[in-house]
């Protein structure tokens, strides 16, 4: 399979990983909309929301709550957008969730290594 996110999950392609366990991997989006823009992916390949089993969905959303708290604590955002695309809206055909912090005052984008260091300290 030639799936970008499967390769990231299997560490064939590097990513700025913030958290991972046996089910999911959370890493910084390589083209972030804002500082702290995270992706959460299941390590097992699923394409869309209706492909994925209930236990995995539940786990992904439990980890989403943890990552939301981490982003709030470390980056002090003003709001958080959660996005999950399907079909033609998906750039990568592997189920994933975006956690995108929102800041009232526009902040210049910091480098991914800088944000990774802040989030993993």
The DSSP result for 51-100, as a single string, is GS-HHHHHHHHHHHHHHHHHHHHHH--SEEEEE---GGG-SSSS--EEEE
Question: Which of 14, 9, 16, 10 shows the shortest CA–CA distance to 32?
Answer: 16
Number of residues in the chain: 121
Is 96 catalytic? The answer is yes
SS3 43: coil
Catalytic residue (choose from 16, 37, 94, 96) = 96
Q: In degrees rounded to 5, what are phi and psi of residue 117?
A: -65, -45
Separation of alpha carbons 71 and 5, rounded Å: 22
Catalytic residue annotation? 96
């Amino acid at each position: 399979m030639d799936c970008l996110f499967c390769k990231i999950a299997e560490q064939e392609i590097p990513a700025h990983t913030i958290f991972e366990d046996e089910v999911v991997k959370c890493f910084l989006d390589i083209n972030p909309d804002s500082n702290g823009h995270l992706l959460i992916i299941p390590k097992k390949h699923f394409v869309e929301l209706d492909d994925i089993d209930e236990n995995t969905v539940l786990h992904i959303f439990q980890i989403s709550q943890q990552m939301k708290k981490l982003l709030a604590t470390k980056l002090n955002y003003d709001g958080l957008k959660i996005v999950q695309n399907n079909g033609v809206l998906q750039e990568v055909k592997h189920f994933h969730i975006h956690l995108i912090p929102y800041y009232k005052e526009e902040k210049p984008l910091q480098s991914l290594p800088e944000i990774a260091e802040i989030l993993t300290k």
